[in-house]
Homo-oligomer: A and B are copies of this chain.
Amino acid sequence: MDRENARLLADANPFPETIDARLRQQLSFLIEVDRLKTVLRQSPLAAVDRRENDAEHSWHLALMVVVLAEHADEKIDVGHTIELVLVHDLVEIHTGDTPLYDTEMGADQAERETAAAEKLFGLLPDDQATRLRALWDEFEARQTPEARFAKAMDRLEPMLLNWMARGGTWRTPGVTADDVRARKAVIGDASASLWAAGRELIDEGERRGWARPGHGLSTA
C-alpha cells in the first residue's frame, strides 16, 4: 500500500485560497489523515463481524487511557498519553498495518515507518511537523512513562478483542500461547496489574484451546 507517488487527497479539491495559508496546510493534513480509516488491522471487532481499522483502534486506545490510567505504575500525564495514541499509527497511512505476528514484514518496519513519518508530518507547518514527529518518536522509543502506558494500551486492546472473539489472531498459524505472552509482555513495563490481567486472559485462552499450547502456563 505504498502511495509514494499518490497525490494528496486535498489536491483533488483544494481549499479556497481565501483561507489563510497556515490553516489551509493544517486542513489539508487533517483531510489526508482520513486515510487512517481505511487501514485495516487483523483484530476482529467485538460488536460486529468485521476487522478493525486504525482510526477506530486509535480512538479505542485513547478512551482506554481515560478509563485505565489509574493502573499505571508510574505517574502519567493523561492528556499527553492520549496525544501519543492519537498519532501513533498515522504512519500506517503509507506503510499499512504490520501484523504483530508477521516477522517478515516486521524486519524493515522501522525503516519504512520512519520514511512515512517524514512524509506525512511534513505536510504540516514546520513547528507542528516537529511536534507531531516528536510525539511519534516518543511513542516508538518507550522511554517515558506516558509512552510505556500508550504502548501497553496498544497491546492490550487487541487482546480484549481477541478474548471476545474466542481467539482471534491468537489462532494465527504457527503462533503459540508463549508467542502471545512474549509479544504482550511490554504491558508489564507500564502496569503490573494490567499485565497480570493480560496473562489471565492468555492462560485461560490457552486452557480453552483458543491459543495453541506453548511451553505454557508455568512461564506466564
A60 at the interface (CB under 8 A from B): yes
Residue from the set A34, A83, A194 with the largest chain B CB neighbour count within 10 Å: A34
A62–B64 touching, CB < 8 Å: no
A29–B62 touching, CB < 8 Å: no
CA distance A38 to B60 in the complex (A): 13
Which residues of chain B are near A87, meaning CB under 8 Å? Answer: 63, 66
Copies in the complex: 2
B30–A38 touching, CB < 8 Å: no
Q: Map CB proximity to B onto A184-213 as digits: 1 under 8 Å, 0 otherwise.
A: 000000000110010011001000000000
B27–A160 touching, CB < 8 Å: yes
CA distance A27 to B153 in the complex (A): 12
Dominant secondary structure at the A interface: helix
Of the residues B31, B36, B68, B83, contact of A164 by C-beta under 8 Å: B31
A26 at the interface (CB under 8 A from B): yes
B79–A60 touching, CB < 8 Å: no
Starting from the known contacts A34-B47, A66-B83, 18 additional A-B residue pairs (CB-CB under 8 Å) come to: A9-B164, A13-B166, A15-B197, A16-B201, A18-B200, A19-B200, A23-B71, A23-B197, A31-B160, A38-B47, A55-B60, A58-B59, A62-B86, A66-B86, A66-B132, A78-B83, A82-B82, A82-B86
A37 at the interface (CB under 8 A from B): yes
**Contacts A/B (CB < 8 Å), 27 sampled:** A9-B46, A9-B164, A13-B163, A16-B204, A18-B200, A18-B204, A19-B200, A23-B71, A26-B67, A26-B68, A27-B197, A33-B63, A34-B47, A37-B45, A37-B47, A37-B48, A53-B56, A55-B55, A55-B60, A56-B56, A59-B62, A62-B82, A63-B86, A63-B87, A66-B83, A67-B128, A79-B83
